[in-house]
Amino acid sequence: MLSQLDKKLLEMVADLHEIPQGAYNIRKNGAGLSRNTTGNIDIVNKTDKSGIDIIVKPGTVDESIHIPVILSQAGLQDLVYNSFDIGEGSDVVIVAGCGIHNGGKENSQHDGLHDFIVRKGAKMRYVEKHYGEGDGKGKKILNPKTIITVEEDGVAEIELVQIKGVDQTIRDTEVYLHDNARLIVTERLLTYANQEAESKITVELLGKDSTAQIISRSVAQDQSKQIFYLNMLGKNQCRGHIQCDSIIMDQAVVRAVPEISAYHTDAQLIHEAAIGKIASEQILKLMSLGLSEEEAEEKILEGFLK
């Protein structure tokens, strides 16, 4: 049974207004709440630890899997292990994400370890949104660790979004790309107040003609702190591009630590990183369209993090 609070959290992290169609597994306060499987997608509990295995049959196309997690019990420390096997030639969308409501004094924390194998010729789009709310003094903490292997001709599109309200996060993402595999990572992160966020993304381009693109955008407000470690290693004939942009405001601190390493003469790797405040010309332009300074700033940030 979903409460109004559950529904709100689900909407924020997975755009769900009600129980979704297709395969899903909803986890609430450390336990499975609701699950559905389809003829092509199976979800089973792990036997050795807390978590699930998601198995997508080869050739499955146009199906989605929702696996949101919601925490509404203050002080809960949740740890989950999820494994995904995306069958050959399939094309699926996975919507994950975690929403925490903490109205208490104790910290609420969700740590998730996800490992994926995207089989030969398969395409996976993975969306992970994080959101926190509640006016308790306890922190809302989310620490996802994601390991993705993309086999020959496979495609992984990863969208990592921290919407708001997460006090502390350490994101760690590792990706291994084989021949002709393709990766696109889009990261969006907003911090404010005294929040802290660390994002580490490491991509190993192992296969011939593998390609990777990481687009990371963040906004740091108030006294919040962000640090990015984006690392790409070219170990074959491959192409990789990292673009890391941050808008810094108030007394925030942003560090970007780029690293690209080539272990092959035909590896082409590019890293671009920029940190700066909102350009005054942007604000003036939107004000000249009738927006107030605050509205202009809001629109610019909204567009930047879209």
Partner 1 sequence: MLQIKDLSFSVEEGNRSVDILKNINLLFEANKFYAITGPNGGGKSSLAKVIMGIVKPTRGSIWLKGEDITALGITERAKRKMGYAFQQPPRFKGFKIRDLLNLSFGEEKNEDEICDLLLEVGLCAQDYINRDVDASLSGGELKRIEIATVLARNLTLAIFDEPEAGIDLWSFQKLVETFQTMHKDKETTIIIISHQEKILRLADEVIIIADGMVKEQAKRDDIMSRIVKDLECGCNKTCDVGGVAYVEPTG
Q: Is 291 in the site for partner 1 (CB under 8 A)?
A: yes
Q: Is 164 in the site for partner 1 (CB under 8 A)?
A: no
CA neighbours closer than 13 Å in the CB half-sphere of residue 207? 21
> What is d(CA 98, CA 121) in angstroms, rounded to the nearest whole number?
29
Distance in Å, CB of 304 to partner 1, minimum: 5
Q: Is residue 288 part of the contact set for partner 1 (CB under 8 A)?
A: yes
Binders of partner 1 among 178-237, rule CB under 8 A?
Answer: 217
- Window contacting partner 1 (CB under 8 A); options: 34-42, 94-102, 170-178, 280-288: 280-288
Q: Would you give the DSSP letter of residue 294? A: H
- In the complex, minimum distance from the CB of residue 295 to partner 1, in angstroms, rounded to a whole number: 9
Chain position carrying tokens 């995207």: 118
55 sits near partner 1 (criterion: CB under 8 A): no
Q: Residues 6 or more apart from 15 whose CB is under 8 A from it?
A: 95
Identify whether the C-beta of residue 122 lies closer than 8 Å to the C-beta of residue 87. yes
- Residue closer to partner 1, measured from CB, 147 or 275: 275
| Residue 241 touching partner 1 (CB under 8 A) | no
The residue range among 49-57, 127-135, 150-158, 282-290 that interacts with partner 1, by the rule CB under 8 A, is 282-290
* Contacts for 305 with CB less than 8 Å, ≥ 6 apart: 188, 189, 190, 217, 218, 219
CB of 219 to partner 1, least distance (A): 11
Asked whether the beta carbons of 136 and 110 are under 8 A apart, the reply is no
Contacts with partner 1 by CB under 8 A lie at 217, 245, 279, 281-282, 284-293, 299-300, 303-306
